[in-house]
Structure 1
Amino acid sequence: MNIEKARFNMIEQQIRPWEVLDQSVLSLLAAVKREEFVPAAYRSMAFMDLCVPLADGGSQGRCMLEPKVEARILQELHVQPHEKVLEIGAGSGYMAALLGRKAQRVLTLEIDAELARMATDNLKRAGIGNVEVRHADGSRGPQADGPFDVIVASGSVATVPQVLLDQLKVGGRLAAIVGTEPIMRAVVVTRVDEHAFRTVEIFDTVAPRLLGFEEPPKFKF
């Protein structure tokens, strides 16, 4: 496989048509080597328009989201060089690597110990030094480390957890994929002031549920 040709096609045929036109994001996708964050067994899938399994067949958030989904979320968040970012669900470390190239500091939480080690190793190999990978349950939020300018949930949740909203600075943005299959939507929530939040739906998609986040109660008849 011609890696650079595959990367070019990913950007031009998958990502641009999904309204990702921010040149800084497109340049970042060309610079950060996605294939180096994919397990060897799945490396041929690195540039495909699908979730790449990381463990357990990609269930419970153990996957890399589609390249176009990651790119669109990154574009919508408008991460700035002075900002502090929290990611829930480190996975292989790829999204954290992209965020680390735009932000001042990134803390990424991963509940799966094996994936936390994978992400740490991948980020170190890529020479990205402003990202901390922590083996922790992201559903509880890192109370001692907030507040954050940007929060990213790299997987789906039934609803946006209040514990994460509480960690946003005023003016801060949170991106998450919200809902239950077959209907989920990526949203960006902005903290307007101490008590108010504004939510914008940006696109429809489906993603595996992040491990540790509660499912909505089932109706009983």
Structure 2
Amino acid sequence: MTDFTTRRTMMVDTQVRPSDVTKFPIIDAMLTVCREDFVPAMQREAAYMGENLDLGSGRVLLEPRTLAKMLDALAVTNDEMVLDIGCAMGYSAAVIAHMAEAVIAVEEDETMAAEAVEALAAAGADNVVVHVGPLSDGAPQHGPYDVIIIQGGVAEVPDTIKDQLKDGGRIAALFMQGALGEVRIGYKRGTQISWRAAFNAGAPVLAGFERQVAFQL
């Protein structure tokens, strides 16, 4: 019988805390949410590894360090609404649910979305709504949002997503250039977003977040 509770504590003590993530709500959420319940059954044993977990079809569950550092930089508060793009089977949404007022979790893979609904319900994350649709569309009907977080790599963030961020809101995205990536935090003022580099990480670029090539005659 695998002791996932011990593995969860080890994940926080060896991957999260050493990465300068000390905010109590993040530590508490990552100690509480059972990561193994939000991965494919075949991957349960690998749930707490310190690397991205392959979910197939070019999708990954971000390594714990990356998610924790993103949330640390975003500093989500309990009166905020968060758009979680690419929630996969719901782990990120379950963690964010511990610190936000509400989470709208977007997933375009219908099978993963259905599993997310089930796992989130089992975890008691009743302030999360799973929205099924293209990741690059977000969920404008529930916005605008105080915070947006993207669970995968991007070459650029579509305007459709930026438009769903409130004036004064924050967005975290992992910008990939080849094999190298950098998480940046964007701050929206009026219609403009100013980006600041936060830390290095890596993940496959999500569908719909590739660089758009301008059409030329």
State the TM bucket, normalised to the shorter chain: over 0.9
Which amino acid letter does the alignment assign opposite residue 45 of structure 1? A
Q: What is the TM-score of this pair, normalised by structure 1?
A: 0.90
Map of 2:184 onto structure 1: 187
Q: CA deviation at 1:64?
A: 0.8
Deviation at 1:145, TM superposition (A): 2.1
Secondary structure in 2 matching 1:29? helix
What TM-score, normalized to structure 2? 0.92
The equivalent of 1:92 in structure 2 is 89
Partner of 2:172: 175
The amino acid of 1:117's aligned partner reads A
Which residue among 193, 213, 217 is the counterpart of 2:209? 213
| Offset, 1:196 | 2.9
The reply on whether 1:202 has 2:198 as its aligned counterpart is yes
Aligned partners of 1:54 and 1:92 also within 8 Å: no
1:36, distance to aligned residue in structure 2 (A): 1.2
Matched AA of 1:48: M
Gaps of 5+ in 1: none
Q: Which runs of 5+ in 2 are unaligned?
A: none
Alpha-carbon contact 1:176-1:188 (below 8 Å) kept: yes
SS, match of residue 54 in structure 1: strand
Q: Is 159-168 or 113-122 further displaced after alignment?
A: 159-168
Cα displacement (A) at 1:18:
1.1
Whole-Å separation in 1 of the counterparts to 2:81 and 2:26: 18
Task: Read off the aligned partner of 1:153 and give its amino acid letter.
Answer: I
Name the count of aligned residue pairs.
Answer: 213
Residues 155 and 207 in structure 1, CA contact (< 8 A), matched pair in contact too: yes
Query: Is 1:43 the equivalent of 2:40?
Result: no
- Following the alignment from structure 2 to structure 1, what is the Cα–Cα distance between the partners of residues 141 and 25? 32
Larger mean Cα displacement after TM superposition, 24-33 or 141-150 = 141-150
CA RMSD of aligned residues (A): 1.6
**Identity, % of aligned pairs?**
35
AA at the equivalent of 1:41? M
CA distance in structure 2 between the partners assigned to 1:177 and 1:11 by the alignment? 21
Aligned to 1:30: 31
1:216 Cα deviation from its structure 2 partner? 4.9
